[in-house]
Amino acid sequence: MALLSILRYPDPRLHTVARPVQAVDARIRDLVADMLDTMYDAQGIGLAATQINVHERVVVIDVSEDRNQPLVLINPAIEWASTERVKGEEGCLSVPGIYDGVERAVAVRVNALDGEGRSRTIEAEGMLAVCIQHEMDHLMGKVFVEYLSPLKRNRIKSKLLKQLREERA
Ligand code: GNR
Ligand code: NI
């Protein structure tokens, strides 16, 4: 079990674009195991490698009530997204304590490699669809607060920077 530290907004490294994984080998399997440990420890429903400062297209998700249905998405690609959209409250382990509304596609179909390197297609709606879109944004260097108004985003930035300063004091 290894816990990795999670980058916090406004860390500029959160805006790095991740590169595709070339092969699902032992290194990637170790990374996935550590990301799952980290996500469960932090009580998140998802974690993108970007958040732990690894800039490869790896995501872990578990939206199950009992926290026992891990999903691993490597090199995820959206094959289809509904034109119907819905606004829901989002949070992020990299933006602790902040929650706000973001509009997303209601349903998506995603192709990705699983933890064993097998290709699979996932059809998602509800919380899983939201989480997949949120995590894929991380891989593109995008954090959910970038969907908010500049005013809100700047307030969030100031609040989190102040928290960091206070923690270091
Ligand atoms: O734990 C998380 N909860 C959450 C709630 C609403 C919308 C998206 C999320 S993802 C977040 C974990 C996280 O930051 N993943 O990148
Ligand atoms: Ni997040």
Tell me the pLDDT tens digit for each residue of 25-79.
999 999 999 999 999 999 999 999 999 999 999 999 999 999 999 999 999 999 9
Q: Per-residue pLDDT averaged across 99-114, rounded?
A: 98
Residue 34 Cβ < 6 Å to ligand 1: no
Residue in 45, 47, 108, 135 to alter for ligand 1 test, most ligand atoms within 8 A of Cβ: 45
Whether 8 has a pLDDT exceeding 90, the answer reads: yes
At residue 45, the pLDDT reads: 98
Shortest-distance Cα residue to atom 16 of ligand 1:
47
Question: Taking the alpha carbons of 11, 42, 144, 112 in that order, is the dihedral positive or negative?
Answer: positive
The secondary structure element, H or E, covering residue 88 is: strand 85-90
6 lines ligand 1 (CB under 6 A): no
The upper half-sphere exposure of residue 19, i.e. CA atoms within 13 Å in the direction of its Cβ, equals: 3
3-state secondary structure of 86: strand
Q: Which helix (H) or strand (E) covers residue 125, if one does?
A: strand 119-125
- E strand or H helix that includes residue 163: helix 150-168
Task: Name residues whose C-beta falls within 8 Å of residue 48's C-beta, 6 or more positions apart in sequence.
Answer: 18, 58, 59, 135, 136, 138, 139
The gap from C-alpha 50 to its chain's centroid, in whole angstroms, comes to: 8
* Whole-number average pLDDT of the chain: 98
The pLDDT score that the predictor gives to residue 1 is 86
Share of the chain above pLDDT 90, in %: 99
Quote the pLDDT of residue 169: 86
Task: Calculate how far, in angstroms, residue 87's C-alpha sits from the geometric centre of ligand 1.
Answer: 14
pLDDT of residue 72: 98
Residue 154 pLDDT greater than 90, yes or no? yes
> Minimum-distance ligand to the CA of 101?
1
Active site residue 135: yes
Summarize the confidence of residues 121-143 as an average pLDDT.
Answer: 98
113 close to 24: Cβ distance less than 8 angstroms: yes
How many CB atoms within 10 Å of residue 66? 6
The conformation of residue 16, written as its DSSP 8-state character, comes to P
Which atom of ligand 1 is the closest one to the Cα of 131? 8
- Given the CA of residue 93, which atom of ligand 1 is nearest to it? 14
Residues 6+ apart with CB under 8 A from 19: 55, 56, 57
Helices (H), 16-70: 26-41
Q: Please work out whether the CB of residue 131 comes within 6 Å of at least one atom of ligand 1.
A: yes
Identify the bridge partners of residue 121 per DSSP, sorted by sequence position. Answer: 111
Catalytic choice (135, 146, 166, 167): 135
